[in-house]
A and B are shown apart, each in its own frame.
Chain A
């Protein structure tokens, strides 16, 4: 590439990054990007709290049948005969109903597959039972992550984040009446477009891949090291992580190019952005050929974990989940980059004839 163009692109990126990363009006993008991190962190905190009282590995798990066999009024011996010795026991004394003498309260805790079953005794007789559910098993956690990634992160966080970043690259400066700063420099308009796109892409990629990485870390916080190690080394964990990060970058490229174009082609880009949102959501309903003119079509094909369609799942959600005509990862990458290149080419044609007419903006 022409060294002058490289120097000019660097200069554009330098100016743009500053605006993109530190703009006060871009704060909502950070909130949107890091919302799933907060979600997974909270989930991990709750699960760790539950697991903190769980028995060491190897303890017998109580089945639902055993659990439902415990009745009020049973003695401690009857309960231990059915459930065995508890993993933990808490004992305390409380004033009785007539305050004349204290009541001994004992809680016996038994591990469930996902949580804990508690039997409460007062003076040696069962007066209550309750269970605390939690502790999603690892294989289910990968589905949860896949669901959040596909439905919130790609379709909403990256979609709207890229809308905020890329649409402002030209349209925002038209509204701020500062675009002439670039247009008065001896820089090819196409080079300016590439510089702005790369700046937006760099910003979006840093924000969203960092968020995706943090989400992966947060989602794994509630699992022990051996489970994570097993996932990474024996269940293609590294490959999955790589795929998620790649999908994130490609989503930024795809949606970035689309929103850069809408910002250039339309004076009020909100309506076309809404159309893009509907188009992306309606992708499963489209004929095969039209599906390919969509970013989500390629991204879904590259997601490493497909969200299982539960029979009880609402039809619309099931439709969004399903990927009836997936393409191979290679074709998906090539298809998405080709789609973005076409959109950027259209943008470059527009930017070549772009006029500054702030009064009509």
Chain B
């Protein structure tokens, strides 16, 4: 069985409206974030992955299975969608328990798995209340419990941190990390870029239905040659260091940091710049830290798509 999630030239059109176009992806285990503004095609990609919609063109494989085999696919895949409606009249527990009965589990197994999932999202106290009366955060958590209750190998999560308070958010991120560590594919979408930075092993940047970049975020950043890299240097003699940097042709901009204890340098050749920093350090100048400041998702997204794409 393949361990990858593969999109092979996948397009989806809603009539004349483009959902996603010519998507080619190969997603390995770990946490993968789909990043992009509203309407960029993140949810479409997730719905395609889970067979809720069908591609107009192309082929999708999830660990060797196609999404039009739900009877096999959903034994491996859990999907926490953004759809906020539940079957009427069910409590949180009944929602998970009944869902597990649909897997063919006997009552005792379904009960055990349901409580385990409810405990993982910290919803035991509210489990016997009607799900329709839950707050937004609780609804998000019960949906998450539903998606993880059968211990899937692929977890697809559409904006999973929406509506969660900071404590639960931290716990949920820890849960994602744990699942990824156990070899699970965790694919989540977000438009909160700093969140993605914290969580993701790899990112897929989307805009207007197209995948504009994919991979490890630092790797993606290094591929963007036309944008000079911005580096923050913390040191005790920023003025002296600035004059040294101006001698280099690849340094295009040097600015004093607002606290006067560092420099923000833009270089068109990061490799040469880091070699230069080695020489500076060997020459005895005290440098506290050297760190790129624009290899986060936010900056990468801005470079690739423009400011209007960043939320």
A interface residues with partner B (beta carbon < 8 Å): 4, 7-8, 10-12, 14-15, 18-19, 22-23, 173, 176-178, 180-189, 191, 352-353, 355-358, 360
Binds A, one of B101-109, B205-213, B233-241: B101-109
- Whether the pair A176, B103 counts as a contact (CB closer than 8 A) is no
- Whether the pair B83, A188 counts as a contact (CB closer than 8 A) is no
Cross-interface CB contact of B89 among A7, A22, A183, A357, cutoff 8 Å: A22
Q: Which residue of B lies closest to A2 (CB)?
A: B104
- Whether the pair B52, A356 counts as a contact (CB closer than 8 A) is yes
The distance from the CB of B6 to the nearest CB of chain A, in whole angstroms, is 20
Q: Which residue of B lies closest to A180 (CB)?
A: B83
The distance from the CB of B165 to the nearest CB of chain A, in whole angstroms, is 25
Binds A, one of B71-79, B257-265, B268-276, B288-296: B71-79
- Whether the pair B71, A188 counts as a contact (CB closer than 8 A) is yes
| Interchain CA distance A160-B129 in the complex, whole Å | 34
8 contacts between A and B (CB under 8 A): A4-B104, A11-B101, A176-B88, A177-B84, A177-B85, A178-B87, A187-B103, A355-B52
Known contacts A7-B104, A186-B103, A356-B47; A15 and B87 CB within 8 A of each other:
yes
The distance from the CB of B123 to the nearest CB of chain A, in whole angstroms, is 17
- Whether the pair B83, A185 counts as a contact (CB closer than 8 A) is no
- Whether the pair B71, A184 counts as a contact (CB closer than 8 A) is no
Query: Which residue among A11, A19, A357 has the maximum number of chain B CB atoms within 10 Å of its CB?
Result: A11
User: Which residues of chain B come closer than 8 Å to A357, judged between CB atoms?
Assistant: 14, 53
- Whether the pair B85, A355 counts as a contact (CB closer than 8 A) is no
User: Which residues of chain A come closer than 8 Å to B47, judged between CB atoms?
Assistant: 356
User: Which residues of chain B come closer than 8 Å to A15, judged between CB atoms?
Assistant: 87, 98
- Whether the pair B86, A184 counts as a contact (CB closer than 8 A) is no
- Whether the pair B70, A181 counts as a contact (CB closer than 8 A) is no
| Interchain CA distance A292-B68 in the complex, whole Å | 36
| Interchain CA distance A183-B67 in the complex, whole Å | 11
Q: Which residue of A lies closest to B103 (CB)?
A: A186
- Whether the pair A14, B87 counts as a contact (CB closer than 8 A) is no
Cross-interface CB contact of A23 among B68, B84, B88, cutoff 8 Å: B88
User: Which residues of chain B come closer than 8 Å to A10, judged between CB atoms?
Assistant: 101
- Whether the pair B54, A355 counts as a contact (CB closer than 8 A) is yes
The distance from the CB of A267 to the nearest CB of chain B, in whole angstroms, is 13
Q: Which residue of A lies closest to B150 (CB)?
A: A186
Would you list which residues of chain B between 129 and 186 have a CB under 8 Å from chain A?
A: 146-147
Chain B contact residue count (CB 8 A cutoff) = 33
- Whether the pair A184, B50 counts as a contact (CB closer than 8 A) is yes
User: Which residues of chain B come closer than 8 Å to A19, judged between CB atoms?
Assistant: 87-89
- Whether the pair A185, B89 counts as a contact (CB closer than 8 A) is no
| Interchain CA distance A181-B142 in the complex, whole Å | 12
User: Which residues of chain A come closer than 8 Å to B86, judged between CB atoms?
Assistant: 178, 181
Would you list which residues of chain B between 207 and 255 have a CB under 8 Å from chain A?
A: none
The distance from the CB of A216 to the nearest CB of chain B, in whole angstroms, is 33
User: Which residues of chain B come closer than 8 Å to A18, judged between CB atoms?
Assistant: 89
Known contacts A8-B102, A353-B54; A188 and B88 CB within 8 A of each other:
no
Is there a chain A Cβ closer than 8 Å to B26's Cβ? Answer: no
| Interchain CA distance A357-B83 in the complex, whole Å | 11
Query: Which residue among A8, A23, A184 has the maximum number of chain B CB atoms within 10 Å of its CB?
Result: A184
Is there a chain A Cβ closer than 8 Å to B303's Cβ? Answer: no
B interface residues with partner A (beta carbon < 8 Å): 14, 47, 50-54, 68, 70-75, 78-79, 81, 83-89, 98-99, 101-104, 106, 146-147
| Interchain CA distance A181-B293 in the complex, whole Å | 43
- Whether the pair A11, B98 counts as a contact (CB closer than 8 A) is yes
| Interchain CA distance A7-B102 in the complex, whole Å | 8
- Whether the pair B102, A12 counts as a contact (CB closer than 8 A) is yes
The distance from the CB of B149 to the nearest CB of chain A, in whole angstroms, is 11
Q: Which residue of A lies closest to B80 (CB)?
A: A184
- Whether the pair A188, B70 counts as a contact (CB closer than 8 A) is yes
| Interchain CA distance A182-B103 in the complex, whole Å | 10
| Interchain CA distance A80-B85 in the complex, whole Å | 79
| Interchain CA distance A116-B156 in the complex, whole Å | 79
| Interchain CA distance A246-B147 in the complex, whole Å | 44
Q: Which residue of A lies closest to B83 (CB)?
A: A180
| Interchain CA distance A353-B98 in the complex, whole Å | 24
| Interchain CA distance A174-B89 in the complex, whole Å | 17
- Whether the pair B70, A186 counts as a contact (CB closer than 8 A) is yes
User: Which residues of chain B come closer than 8 Å to A11, judged between CB atoms?
Assistant: 98, 101-102, 104
Known contacts A357-B14, A357-B53; A181 and B87 CB within 8 A of each other:
yes
- Whether the pair A185, B103 counts as a contact (CB closer than 8 A) is yes
User: Which residues of chain B come closer than 8 Å to A183, judged between CB atoms?
Assistant: 51-52, 70
- Whether the pair B74, A184 counts as a contact (CB closer than 8 A) is yes
- Whether the pair A182, B14 counts as a contact (CB closer than 8 A) is no
Cross-interface CB contact of B83 among A22, A353, A358, cutoff 8 Å: A358
Q: Which residue of A lies closest to B101 (CB)?
A: A11
User: Which residues of chain A come closer than 8 Å to B101, judged between CB atoms?
Assistant: 7, 10-11, 14
- Whether the pair B70, A180 counts as a contact (CB closer than 8 A) is no
| Interchain CA distance A292-B50 in the complex, whole Å | 41
| Interchain CA distance A4-B104 in the complex, whole Å | 6
User: Which residues of chain B come closer than 8 Å to A23, judged between CB atoms?
Assistant: 88
The distance from the CB of A175 to the nearest CB of chain B, in whole angstroms, is 10
| Interchain CA distance A23-B53 in the complex, whole Å | 29
Q: Which residue of B lies closest to A195 (CB)?
A: B102
User: Which residues of chain A come closer than 8 Å to B83, judged between CB atoms?
Assistant: 177-178, 180, 356, 358
The distance from the CB of B155 to the nearest CB of chain A, in whole angstroms, is 12
